[in-house]
Amino acid sequence: MAEARQDLGPVMLDIAGTELSAAECEILRHPLVGGVILFTRNYRSPQQLCELTAAIRALRAPELLLAVDHEGGRVQRFRHGFSAIPPMRRLGEAWDRDRAAACKAAGDIAYVLASELLACGVDFSFTPVLDVDFGASGVIGDRALHSDPVAIAQLSAALLAGLREAGMANVGKHFPGHGYVRADSHLALPVDERSYADIEAADLLPYRDLIQHGLAAVMPAHVIYPAVDAHAAGFSSLWLRRILRRQLGFDGMIFSDDLSMEGASVAGGVVERGRAALDAGCDMVLLCNAPAAAQELLDGLDGASLDQRRAAAMRGVRLAPGLATLHAHARFQLAQEGLARFVAALA
């Protein structure tokens, strides 16, 4: 039976395995927790995933948000039983040949991706990647759609439309852009020395366009842009409140990137990182792969809150559980055929 109704909190945590432990059930009931992010270690089969997400949902009312990094290519957390999604770079290559066909494929791919996750109880994926491919970043690489911001904006608009049609929100990342720097923010603190004018002309173009096409959420980069602000974007009120909120007019959710990443260390310990991200304008902070620090973060953020309207907009449309039911739907079959044609053309 679900606990008494309480607002969702501003912290998203992960779990260790394919089932919930008693300790995880307890911490996920903490009033400052608002969501769970799943990884490959949490997946064994579609049926097991359905059971796991149902167990997480049963812990709270309103239910915790359930998310995953499921972009396609090398960042696809669930594979066996799920459709294989190609790297987003393949859509950019197709756009160079036939823009209309590439956008149609993007819509089909997004519909398949979203429908399969929703059918297994996952609310949303942290996708699409809006980083411009400057040929520098190995950690971004073929996760980026294109080197042309116009192509990124058009293809991402098609991706957003496919996600929305299936009933899923979206998260554009990594604001304002991670594609210019070589360092991997998981392992180091990247520094992008470009001027604001250069960043605005390229990296911000997809965000500016997609805010008009229903961009639901944004994840900022653990990157410092010293010509603009001394703080990394995810800890910068200049980037999040002044530029993203006021200048670009964005009113959706802002998720921090993982606070355990090396790129977040500039803000101090885990509590200082969490406070700095929320103070800068993040709505929800993520802490992954650091179970020993989770309780410390929750204790240190006492009194923090989450905009429930923004959180509710991230809730996915509930589908009949299980991929077998989904795969019988005519609309899904059409999208899956479109995905299959696209993948066949890559061979």
Nearest-5° angle of CA 126, CA 132, CA 138?
80
Instruction: Report d(CA 323, CA 23) in Å as an integer.
Output: 30
Inter-residue contact 205 to 177 (CB < 8 Å) = no
Q: Find out whether 295 and 27 touch, Cβ atoms under 8 Å.
A: yes
Find the catalytic residue in 131, 257, 258, 283. 257
CB 227 within 8 A of CB 196: yes
Handedness of CA 218, 222, 176, 240 (dihedral sign): positive
**Residue 195 CB coordination number (10 Å):** 11
Q: CA-CA distances (angstroms) from residue 244 to 94, 235, 240, 273, 326?
A: 30, 13, 5, 20, 37
Catalytic residue among 7, 148, 186, 251: 186
What phi and psi, each to the nearest 5 degrees, are found at residue 70?
-135, 75
**Phi and psi (nearest 5°) for 36?**
-130, 135
Beta-carbon contacts of 181 under 8 Å, excluding residues fewer than 6 positions away, are 136, 137, 190, 191, 192, 223
CA angle in degrees (0–180, nearest 5) for 259-41-124: 65
Query: Length of the chain, please?
Result: 347
* H or E segment to which residue 206 belongs: helix 204-211
Return the beta strands (E) in the chain as ranges. 11-13, 33-38, 65-68, 70-72, 75-76, 124-125, 171-175, 217-220, 253-258, 284-287
Rounded to whole angstroms, how far apart are CA atoms 254 and 244? 10
Active site residue 186: yes
Q: List the catalytic residues.
A: 186, 257
